[in-house]
Amino acid sequence: MTSLGVLGRKWTMLIIREIGFKKIDRFNRLAESIPGISPRVLAMRLKELKKEEFIESVTEKTSPKILRWRLTEKGKDTLPILMRFVAFGSKWYPEVVFEDKKRRTLKEVYPQAEIDRITVAYA
């Protein structure tokens, strides 16, 4: 499976968004933060993303053990791409993206510091 094939699968970019932008790194928190995704599908997408080296799992040696997900360098390289998708959707499909159906710029959706961090750090 190619990287583009993985990124194009339903829910994948939302999972990357949650891990990369929102820093949500636990399975149950991911499931809660993505409305409509089933635990089975989330588990499959995480497995695919790990296999393709977009994410990695980190196990904390606590009792009980805690499994966390984080982006790899390859995964971080997808963040500027995701940011462009957000910008496109915010401009051209506001009726789908926003409750008030009003267009927004990328700066209105994400604070400038977040945009700078992603575009500079991962460019």
Render pLDDT for 21-46 as a digit per residue (tens, 0 to 9): 889 999 999 999 999 999 999 999 99
Identify the CATH assignment for 3-72 out of 3.30.70.790, 3.30.70.360, 1.10.10.10, 3.40.50.360.
1.10.10.10
Render pLDDT for 73-87 as a digit per residue (tens, 0 to 9): 999 999 988 888 888
Distances (CA, A) of 104 to 21, 108, 118, 119, 121: 18, 6, 19, 19, 24
Give pTM, 2 decimals. Answer: 0.81
Q: What b/e readout covers 66-98, taking b as 16+ CB neighbours within 10 angstroms?
A: eeebebeeebbebbeebbeebbeebeeeeeebe
- The ranges of the chain annotated as CATH 1.10.10.10 are 3-72
Q: Give the Cα separation of 100 and 123 in Å (integer).
A: 32
Give the mean pLDDT of the chain: 88
